[in-house]
Structure 1
Amino acid sequence: MAAPLNLEEGHSSTRPPCFNGHFYSRLKARMHDFLMAEDNELWDIVLDGPFIPMIEEKDGDKTSLVLKPRQKHDEADRRKIEKGYKAKILPVCGIGPDEFNRVSACESGKEIRDCLKTAHEGTKQVKESKIDMLTSRYGNFKMKEEETIHEMFTKLSSITNELRCLGEPISMSKQVRKVLRILPKSWESKVDAITET
């Protein structure tokens, strides 16, 4: 039996999370945690872009910033540049061949993140459409008579986790109230007991 698409390999604290194009929200959370555990500056580099050594150059009365020649890099510059490359290579190490083709032309960890984010979350308009669709699914969610509590909660959690990853979290108290409202009649006495408590 083949492993589910999102569980092909085990978790590791020494290797970046694997990503084969499925379950981007899972990758996003795991990559953040992996980079923070590796070196919290790496996540800043992924968010803000790599360090580019610059120097001030004067041209008469005007002063402008220009790229610092490689020969003039000091040890601090080299360390920061190295961290930029580390922030680029670590996310790529766990990417499958199809996703690698998508990001292979990217020059930094920030570009890789932005490329994957756009590919899997879409543009702002696509993201808003996904949020609208998931919010509607959440609002219309019902428990089926033949479902177990575990199956129902797994489906509901999938919707709420996707919303959270898209920047629209639903509080735990709202989720609990939702679960209590959608339970079938056979659960009525238990719902009453929980509500009274």
Structure 2
Amino acid sequence: MEDKIEEGGSTTRPLLLTESNYDYWKNRMKWYLKSQDEAIRRATQVLWTPPTAIVDGVEAVKSEDQWTAAESTTCAANSKAVSTIQCAVRPSVFKIIQNFETAKELWDALQLTYEGTKSVRKSKLHLISTWFESLTMKDDETIADFEKKSSLYC
């Protein structure tokens, strides 16, 4: 089976996530975001929250004009990561992530959608390992037939 890559190979345009390329997309997107700026990639790993300050003994969200340069930079990195990820998915996938406002939430939602929970990933790995261990070529089977059979699971 031949891989079909609809987009890619560009430093100015992220790879498009499809129904079947999540693992490839995830790795390429990580490096694409990192190439834009390490802070942008980090936004997918660390939950951004609006800066707060203590006002009259109560914690409150700061107005944007009170943000420090570092707080503004972190917010911008989150916004760039969100925008980049949104541009790298089809409309059907956008529905999954459209209501999230942080890059980490988007990243985690896509990971959960395509990889499942840790226990689901562990079960899938066990199934694949079991299948691989039992994989044998029959005496009357051609190499082409064996390759077709084995590629169904990969």
TM-score range, shorter chain: 0.7 to 0.9
- State the Cα distance separating 1:43 from its structure 2 match: 1.7
Q: 1:76 aligns with which of 70, 73, 81?
A: 70
Q: Write 1 or 2 for the structure with the bigger share of helix.
A: 1
1:168 — aligned with what?
Answer: none
1:146 — aligned with what?
Answer: 142
Per-residue CA distance 1:83-135 (angstroms, 9 max, x = gap) = 11001111111111111111111111111111111111112332222111112
Q: How does 1:5-154 map onto structure 2 within 5 Å?
A: 6-57=4-55, 59=57, 65-143=59-137, 145-147=141-143, 151=147
For the 8 Å contact 1:5–1:22, the answer to whether it is kept is no
Q: CA RMSD in A?
A: 2.6
Structure 1: distance between partners of 2:65 and 2:42: 26
> What are the ranges of 5 or more consecutive residues in structure 2 without an aligned counterpart?
none
- Percent of aligned pairs with the same amino acid: 26
Structure 1: distance between partners of 2:40 and 2:66: 24
Per-residue CA distance 1:21-67 (angstroms, 9 max, x = gap) = 222111111111111111112121101122531223453xxxx6432
Structure 2: distance between partners of 1:140 and 1:65: 59
Structure 1: distance between partners of 2:46 and 2:4: 28
TM-score by length of 1: 0.65
> What are the ranges of 5 or more consecutive residues in structure 1 without an aligned counterpart?
160-197
For the 8 Å contact 2:39–2:74, the answer to whether it is kept is no
Q: Which moved more, 1:93-102 or 1:10-19?
A: 10-19
For the 8 Å contact 1:21–1:98, the answer to whether it is kept is no
- Cα pair distance change 1:13/1:129, threshold 3 Å: same
Q: Would you identify which runs of 4 or more consecutive aligned residues in structure 1 move more than 6 Å?
A: none
Aligned length: 148
Structure 2: distance between partners of 1:5 and 1:112: 26
- Cα pair distance change 1:132/1:55, threshold 3 Å: same
**If you compute each CA radius of gyration, which structure gives the higher value, 1 or 2?**
1
TM-score by length of 2: 0.81
User: SS of the counterpart of 1:142?
Assistant: coil
